[in-house]
Amino acid sequence: MTAEPTSARSATRYDADTLASLAADAAAIKARYPDPRSGLLPMLHLVQSVDGYVSRDGILFCAEQLGMTPAEVSAVATFYTQYKRHPNGTYTVGVCTNTLCAVMGGDAIFDELSEHLGVGHDETTDDGAITLERVECNAACDYAPVVMVNWEFFDNQTPESATDLADRLRAGEQVAPTRGASSVCGFKQMSRVLAGFTDGRADEGVGAGEPTLAGLRLARASAAVDGGEPSGGPAASPEGSSAASSAEVPPETGTAQSSAERKPTTEDDVEPKGGSDD
C-alpha cells in the first residue's frame, strides 16, 4: 500500500513545497537522536526559521513529526525565551541587564535603546527590523556591558554605540560582531543554524578575545603555583613526581567539607518533624 503523502495528513497550513522541505529537515533532525522526541528543541528552531516565530502551524508540525500533542510542544515553546510566540524582527537585539552588565551600564543601554526605538522588552519596531529584549546573561561578563544581535556578540557597549548599531541595522547595513562570525545574519537564518544546519561560518571572525585569554593565563599560572598544570598545557613532570602523584589521588568522602560522614547535630537530624495526624 502506498504511503499517504505528508501534506495530506498534516493539519498545518503550509503549502506543499514548504511542508516537503520541512519534513526532509525534520527527518535529518530526528536521525540524530535515539529517541526522536529528543529533537523537539532543534525542530522548534527549524519551524522558527521558516515562519520567523513558533507559529500555530509550527507547533502542529512538530507534534505530528514527533508523535506529541500540540499542548506538549507548546509547553516547551513557551518555556524557553529563544522561541518567539509572535512575529519577530529581522534582528533580535538583546541587552544584558544581569548584575555585572547592569553595574557597567547595561540598564542605561536598554533604556536608551527603548526610547530611541520606541519599543519595550520583547517588542518590535514598526518597520519589523528590530525586536528589543532584556537578556539575563550573555555569558560574556569579561566584556560587560554586552549587547547581542541574533546572538552574536557586541562587547563593551555604551548607549551611544548601541543606538548607532541599531540605526545601522535598520538601514540595512552590514555590521560585524566583536567576536564570532564576520557579519550578522537575519533571525530566520540564525534559527536554522540553531536547528543544527550549518551556514559555513563557524570559523569566521575572532574567537576568544584578550580579556578571556588573560583570565585563562591567570588560571593556568595559579594552577602551576599550586602544583597543577603549567600554562603550556599538560604537566610534563617525571613519573612519580609530587605533582603527578597528587593529581592521581581520588577525593575522599568524610572529610571536613563532606556531608557523607556528618553526624546528627540536632533532634531534627535524628528524627525530622513532619505533619501529624493529630
Q: What is the pLDDT of residue 119?
A: 98
Q: Under DSSP, is residue 41 helix (H, G, I), strand (E, B) or coil?
A: helix
Q: What is the pLDDT of residue 202?
A: 77
Find out whether 43 and 33 touch, Cβ atoms under 8 Å.
Answer: no
**How far is Cα 222 from Cα 197, in angstroms, rounded to an integer?**
40
Q: What is the pLDDT of residue 215?
A: 81
Per-residue pLDDT reduced to its tens digit, 109-119: 999 999 999 99
Q: Closest Cα partner for 113 from 62, 148, 75, 66?
A: 148
The low-confidence residues of the chain, meaning pLDDT below 50, are 1-8, 231, 233-262, 269, 272, 275-278
Per-residue pLDDT reduced to its tens digit, 145-195: 999 999 999 999 999 999 999 999 999 999 999 988 889 999 999 999 999
Q: What is the pLDDT of residue 230?
A: 53
**How far is Cα 12 from Cα 58, in angstroms, rounded to an integer?**
8
Q: Is residue 179 packed enough to be buried (19+ CB in 10 Å), middle (13-18) or exposed (0-12)?
A: middle
What is the C-alpha R_g of the chain? 25
Q: What is the pLDDT of residue 237?
A: 40
Q: What is the pLDDT of residue 244?
A: 38
Q: What is the pLDDT of residue 223?
A: 85
Which CA distances in Å does 75 have to 69, 70, 71, 82, 216?
10, 9, 6, 14, 39
